Chain A
Amino acid sequence: MRGEIRQIHPRKGGGSPGEPIPRRLAVIMAGDIAGYSRLMNIDEEGTHARLKRILREVVEPTIAEHHGRLVKTTGDGFIAIFDSPVEAVRCGIVIQQSMVGRNASVPAQQALLYRIGVNLGDVIVDSNEVFGDGVNIAVRLEGIATPGQVYISGGVYEQIKHKLVCGYQSLGDRQVKNITDPVRVYRVLPDPAAFMETQKRREIGFVVLASIVLLAIAGSLWYTMRPGRDLNVARSSAPAASAPETSRTTESAAAIAPSAAPAISPQGTSPASPQAGSFSPATPQGASPQPASPPSASPSVKEPEMAQLPGGSFSMGSNEDPSEKPVHQVAIKPFALSKFPVTVRQWNECAAANACEFTALGDENAPVTNVSWTDTKQYLGWLEQVTHKPYRLPSEAEWEYAARGGTQTKYWWGDQLQAGMANCKNCVAIASASADFPAKVGSFRPNPFGLYDMGGGVDQWVEDCWHRNYQGAPNDGSPWMDGDCVSHVIRSGSWKNDASYVRPANRDHYDTGVRYPTHGFRVALSP
């Protein structure tokens, strides 16, 4: 009773031990290392040192980044509070993903795996402690979590389900020790692939169950129906690739066999992967590879045709659109840029080596499309591996410098739109133009630097993060990378955009990891 009275009349001069501790709604995260005592048994000092390092380098900064507060750490665990459920769960995912990276370099028995539980509850927060049922539930969630996973309560799920893009698997209601009501538990699946897996497992289970039920209704009209068969047929959605026509280069035909498994496998990055091993590094002259490797159908990789660009200074931007302002002077060092956007044939060499995630459809000499900025990195990583040259995306400044070809006019050929100069919507009708695919690369005239399709054709990813205008842009031609990089710059405009997008100064942006049917890229190389 006395305690309640004290709450109504709080004493002045905060910090005194008698002052009531305020209650608040908070998101509580509990984490601990799975099998900690086992690890301590194996290597006490080493485990302790590694755990301290992980706390300092992964857990603490990640919590701070997500506007949380680390309330306390115990031997192998920690408790943190957050104001936002979205931030808390994101933080959990980031910690788990960082741990995957950390564990990659140590033997499996020594891997440190966090179990993380997140709950939303009304708690009492002290300076270095937090009390209440809400905390207990978070700790229990953590206790039942599979190592490496984040489990959340129904309350958190309700808050984040439409805000945080990842999968959630319901694990049903769980009775939790010392808590009267059962707690609804969800497993967070940050990786869409994992989500699909569980979906599929559930689907299979469902189909099996359904089939049994169907069979049980013997004598019904539906007896012959087999849903399992129907489902598979319905899945093939994409149109078949057009028949391959004779290509300009003959060596690649074998590479386009639709064998590339779309599975995301880390094989491609391993230098010892059998496919990659059979590529010999091509020389600039395109010398034929040594037939030393077994006579499999693996092709030699032809390097992209590059144009050597001189260094120079130019005025970047224009006054036509707010995003292109202010016009500013940029100095560019000499570099090389591919004469054409990366083609379907080139992309599919990467796909055939299982280094690129999907096999592109369409004419071999059409630019590859439907690639995200992230996808371009797969291709570049593979290209570097097989050529031993650090191919990269151009910076935005390099792209515009190259597209201008030494001119400062609206288009590289002048201030007026001219027929037959670029592959854009309503610009000009050419025989090979279609609404669904861009024209083959090199179908239009090159600019003064000898570069084709710098404007129109396909949108082209560059290295830079998106910034809404050039306030604060670098002036040395380097990519502008600060800021949050959820979105990267695209240049050139596509065959589906009108003439204003063909201007070398035009710029736009798109979500980094998202594919869109008009987006492609070209590659650059520093000398």
Chain B
Amino acid sequence: MKLVRLVMLGMVLAAASSYAAFAQGTPAPKDAALYFIWPLDGATLKGAFWCRFGLRNMGVTHAGDTFPNSGHHHLLIDVNEPIDSKEPIPQDKSHLHFGAGQTETRLELAPGKHTLQLVLGDAKHYPFNPPLISKKITITVK
């Protein structure tokens, strides 16, 4: 019985703390991981290709939705600046947003070497805390 009580107490505390952080710096589960399903790091690709996003232990949702443990994808192409966790993820031609909850996109990049990286954004397009970022992969387009 004691154990049950302790578990319930733990759940209550966990619920309270998860609500405390709806503002910026939304916490992500510790075991969450963001990765590219495709292409693979170092791949050489011909012309346009599908880029597929993987996310483990979290859910993908529409931007604006504040469901706990969920976010939406952002794809950074040839971006060298580090992510500023106090700012919304920028929106421009090298920061592609997938606020409708897309998990893949068709990319057509100029021939040459490119880097790709994923960043998960919260309801307001801010990175999670700590930022949930994929490994930066390098691909070559022929």
Contact = CB atoms under 8 A, between A and B. Distances in A.
Contacts of A195: 67
Interface stretch (B27-35, B88-96, B111-119, B128-136): B88-96
B99 A514 contact: yes
Nearest to A166: B62
Contacts of B45: none
A230 B16 contact: yes
A517 B88 contact: yes
A227 B60 contact: no
Highest count of chain A CB atoms <10 Å: which of B9, B59, B92, B101:
B92
Given A230-B20, A516-B125, A210 B12 contact: yes
Given A508-B93, A513-B100, A162 B60 contact: yes
| Candidate in B11, B19, B20 with the most chain A CB atoms within 10 angstroms | B19
Interface in A64-94: none
Interface in A352-366: none
Contacts of A494: 91
A195 B88 CA distance: 25
A510 B91 contact: yes
Interface in B49-78: 55, 59-65, 67
A217 B1 CA distance: 11
A459 B90 CA distance: 13
A514 B11 contact: no
A515 interface: yes
A231 B87 CA distance: 25
Contacts of B91: 459, 494, 496, 508, 510, 516, 518
Given A222-B9, A501-B92, A510-B91, A516 B99 contact: yes
Nearest to B8: A213
A213 B7 CA distance: 11
B19 A234 contact: yes
Contact of B97 (A161, A167, A214, A510): A510
B140 interface: no
B15 interface: yes
Nearest to B92: A497
Q: How large is the interface on B (under 10, 10 to 19, 20 to 34, 35 or more residues)?
A: 35 or more
Interface string A194-220: 010001000000110010011011000
B22 A235 contact: yes
B88 A516 contact: yes
Nearest to A199: B67
Contact of A213 (B5, B67, B97): B5
B23 interface: yes
Contact of B12 (A161, A227, A237, A511): A227
A234 B20 contact: yes
B12 A214 contact: yes
B103 interface: yes
Given A165-B60, A234-B20, A516-B125, A486 B88 contact: no
B67 to A, nearest CB: 8
Given A165-B62, A234-B22, A227 B16 contact: yes
A12 interface: no
A312 interface: no
Contacts of B23: 237
Interface in A484-527: 486, 494, 496-497, 501, 508, 510-518
Interface of B is mostly: loop
Interface residues of A, number: 40
Given A165-B60, A514-B97, A516-B91, A231 B19 contact: yes
A408 B64 CA distance: 39
B16 A514 contact: no
Of A162, A192, A231, A435, most buried by chain B (CB within 10 Å of CB) is A162
B62 A210 contact: no
B16 A231 contact: yes
Contact of B19 (A162, A210, A235, A510): A235
Contact of A515 (B15, B19, B64): B64
A440 to B, nearest CB: 21
A486 B9 CA distance: 45
A282 to B, nearest CB: 33
A321 B22 CA distance: 39
A163 interface: yes
A217 B19 contact: no
Contacts of A217: 5, 9
Nearest to A500: B93
A210 B64 contact: no
B107 to A, nearest CB: 11
B19 A230 contact: yes
Contacts of A515: 63-64
Contacts of B93: 321, 508
Contacts of B20: 230, 234
Interface in A314-337: 321
Contacts of A459: 91
A437 to B, nearest CB: 13
A167 B67 CA distance: 10
3 nearest CB pairs, A to B: A514-B99, A165-B101, A237-B23
Given A235-B19, A511-B97, A516-B88, 17 more contacts: A162-B103, A165-B62, A195-B67, A207-B15, A213-B9, A217-B5, A227-B16, A230-B16, A231-B19, A234-B21, A237-B22, A237-B23, A511-B98, A512-B100, A514-B97, A515-B63, A516-B91
28 contacts: A161-B59, A162-B55, A162-B103, A163-B103, A165-B60, A165-B100, A192-B62, A210-B11, A213-B5, A217-B9, A222-B9, A227-B15, A231-B16, A234-B20, A237-B23, A321-B93, A496-B92, A497-B92, A510-B91, A511-B63, A511-B97, A514-B64, A514-B97, A516-B91, A516-B97, A517-B88, A517-B125, A518-B91
Interface of B: 5, 8-9, 11-12, 15-16, 19-24, 55, 59-65, 67, 87-88, 90-93, 97-101, 103, 124-125
Interface of A: 161-163, 165, 167, 192, 195, 199, 206-207, 210, 213-214, 216-217, 222, 227, 230-231, 234-235, 237, 321, 435, 459, 486, 494, 496-497, 501, 508, 510-518
